[in-house]
């Protein structure tokens, strides 16, 4: 809709006098009004408030009737157009609101200037700005992060099956840096560190005063170098000191064995490159040991922090012939992608049981959730970690990267288990861990953890520390992954039948076989 307004010179002068009398200020977005006045003067109004009383009074004296008429008509038409837009166009409000946060950049610049001008020591501007970016992204959720070019390289290397470190997974709970697990045969395990231990100091520095980057950097280092840890065991009052030598830790991703002569057992420690192929190879090997193939399969996903989503989907597809495996949705529940099973990749139809615990996260939960919803396996153990968020990498011009949570994933039944976890069909505690004090750490315990429905953010009692997580395989947490010469091949020792969770899973398969034979 447009307005065309014609006024005479006298009316125009009265209109200008009215604006002057009302002490009117003008704010006209990004519009520039440029009209020739007496062939020499111009009026420009562009993106900021200007007090026009004296300017207009001067212009009135020198204006010709013709240009004053054109100027006033243009001004009134422009004002009417803006008023009409504000009354009828919601987009104008949205656009205005979208620009408001950027006004805080002026405050940021002022703070930066104050620091550079007055801080007791000389500061590195680039380091400060990078730190601010880190803080901004980390405030979103525990899994979003800003990575420099070097950190991006570390991230890519951490998705491989080996890394340099002391061989443990750690996580922050409040101000406490806790050990989630130590890799069997790795430097930390050989030094005597255990799951549930609280690390109070690293090389003499209190961890409560360290940022998350400082914590992980302190644990990293060259092969053969050492790190001194001050540690408190949950069942002891005294603080013990451990000196641990860093080494290349080679993860044994997939392991297998026969149980009771004709039942298969396959443990997946992480979902890295070609995990699905390795799982298939192990199952085929087990089937080769039994004339008619194994009677049933136990898939052990305990202490598996996740990894590549596509590998999780591929593993689930080995046992699911058709239908949805997992779907992802972004902001406002908008569908991102649906991952469905392909009959071409379906291989095994044997009865199954899946073992999970509080350390089973991400891709592990995708596999367990799909098998549970398709009634393809009985789930045994404890409620899983509860990470159902997905991240994407956005590479920037300078080589740095923003790793950003872009959505949540949903099991085939349409349930999002973010901060909730997969609830087992048969709940069984780990009796070995029950024999000594321990502290579990799940997604819901991490600061800034997002919820399943996105309506609220989980609040933590202690907001003073950056959220922590250190599951090395999926790259969102853990130590550096660089290939060196010294290696320690690790992996939990294969469990025995004294493992109550494993024993229960085996009994579930035996009971199913008995029931089927009775029919």
Could you give the residue numbers annotated as active site?
A: 362, 373, 387
Q: How many CA atoms lie less than 13 Å away from 197 in the CB half-sphere?
A: 25
CA dist 219 → 33, 206, 348 (Å) = 61, 13, 42
Select from 505, 506, 491 the least CA-distant residue to 254.
491
| 180 close to 294: Cβ distance less than 8 angstroms | no
> Which residue's structure tokens are 């991952």?
339
Is the sign of the CA dihedral 378, 383, 389, 391 positive or negative?
negative
The span from the CA of 385 to the CA of 449, in Å, is 12
* CB contact set of 150 (below 8 Å; sequence gap of 6+): none
- Give the other-Cβ count within 10 Å of 176's Cβ: 18
| 30 close to 82: Cβ distance less than 8 angstroms | no
The span from the CA of 209 to the CA of 18, in Å, is 63
The span from the CA of 310 to the CA of 316, in Å, is 10
Q: How many CA atoms lie less than 13 Å away from 44 in the CB half-sphere?
A: 5
The span from the CA of 203 to the CA of 220, in Å, is 12
The span from the CA of 361 to the CA of 299, in Å, is 15
* CB contact set of 102 (below 8 Å; sequence gap of 6+): none
Q: What b-and-e string marks burial along 18-39, b requiring 16 or more CB atoms within 10 Å of the CB? A: ebbeeeeebebeeeeeebebee
Stated length of the chain: 519
The span from the CA of 356 to the CA of 304, in Å, is 8
Is the sign of the CA dihedral 458, 461, 467, 468 positive or negative?
negative
């Amino acid at each position: 809709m447009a307005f065309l307004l014609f006024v005479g010179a006298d009316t125009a002068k009265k209109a200008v006098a009215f604006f002057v009398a009302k002490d009117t200020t003008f704010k006209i977005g990004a519009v520039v009004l440029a009209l020739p006045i007496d062939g020499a003067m111009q009026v420009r109004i562009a993106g900021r408030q200007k007090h026009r009383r004296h300017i207009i009074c001067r212009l009135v004296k020198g204006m010709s009737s013709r240009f004053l008429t054109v100027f006033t008509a243009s001004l009134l038409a422009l004002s009417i157009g803006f008023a009409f837009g504000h009354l009828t166009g919601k987009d104008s409000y949205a656009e205005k609101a979208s620009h408001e946060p950027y006004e805080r950049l002026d405050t940021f610049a002022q703070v930066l200037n104050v620091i550079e001008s007055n801080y007791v020591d000389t500061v590195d501007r680039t380091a400060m700005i990078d730190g601010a970016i880190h803080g901004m992204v980390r405030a979103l959720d525990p899994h979003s992060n800003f990575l420099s070019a070097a950190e991006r390289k570390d991230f890519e290397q951490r998705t491989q099956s080996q890394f340099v470190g002391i061989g443990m997974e750690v996580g922050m709970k409040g101000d406490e840096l806790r050990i989630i697990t130590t890799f069997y045969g790795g430097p930390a395990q050989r030094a005597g560190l255990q799951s549930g231990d609280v690390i109070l100091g690293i090389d003499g520095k209190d961890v409560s005063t360290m940022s998350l980057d400082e914590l992980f950097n302190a644990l990293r280092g060259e092969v053969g170098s050492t790190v001194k840890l001050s540690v408190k065991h949950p069942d002891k009052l005294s603080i013990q000191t451990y000196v641990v030598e860093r080494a290349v830790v080679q993860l044994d991703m997939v392991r297998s064995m026969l149980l009771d002569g004709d039942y298969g057992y396959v443990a997946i420690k992480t979902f890295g490159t070609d995990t699905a192929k390795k799982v298939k190879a192990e199952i085929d090997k087990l089937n080769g040991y039994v004339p008619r193939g194994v009677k049933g399969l136990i898939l052990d996903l305990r202490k598996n922090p996740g990894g590549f989503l596509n590998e999780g989907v591929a593993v689930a597809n080995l046992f699911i012939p058709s239908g949805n495996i997992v779907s992802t949705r972004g902001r406002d529940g908008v569908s991102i992608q649906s991952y469905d099973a392909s009959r071409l990749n379906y291989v095994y139809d044997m009865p199954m049981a899946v073992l999970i615990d509080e350390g089973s996260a991400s891709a592990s939960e995708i596999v367990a959730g799909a098998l549970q919803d398709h009634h393809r396996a009985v789930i045994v153990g404890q409620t899983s970690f509860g990470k159902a968020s997905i991240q994407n990498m956005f590479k920037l011009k300078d080589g740095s990267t923003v790793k950003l949570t872009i959505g949540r994933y949903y099991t085939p039944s349409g349930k999002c288990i973010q901060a909730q976890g997969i609830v087992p069909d048969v709940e069984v505690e780990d009796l070995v861990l029950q024999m000594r004090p321990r502290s579990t750490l799940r997604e819901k315990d991490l600061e800034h953890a997002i919820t399943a429905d996105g309506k609220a953010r989980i609040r933590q009692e202690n907001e003073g520390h950056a959220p922590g997580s250190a599951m090395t395989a999926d790259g969102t947490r853990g130590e550096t992954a660089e290939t060196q010469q010294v290696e320690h091949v690790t992996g939990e020792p294969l469990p025995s039948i004294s493992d109550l969770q494993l024993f229960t899973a085996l009994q579930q398969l035996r009971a199913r076989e008995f029931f089927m034979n009775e029919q």
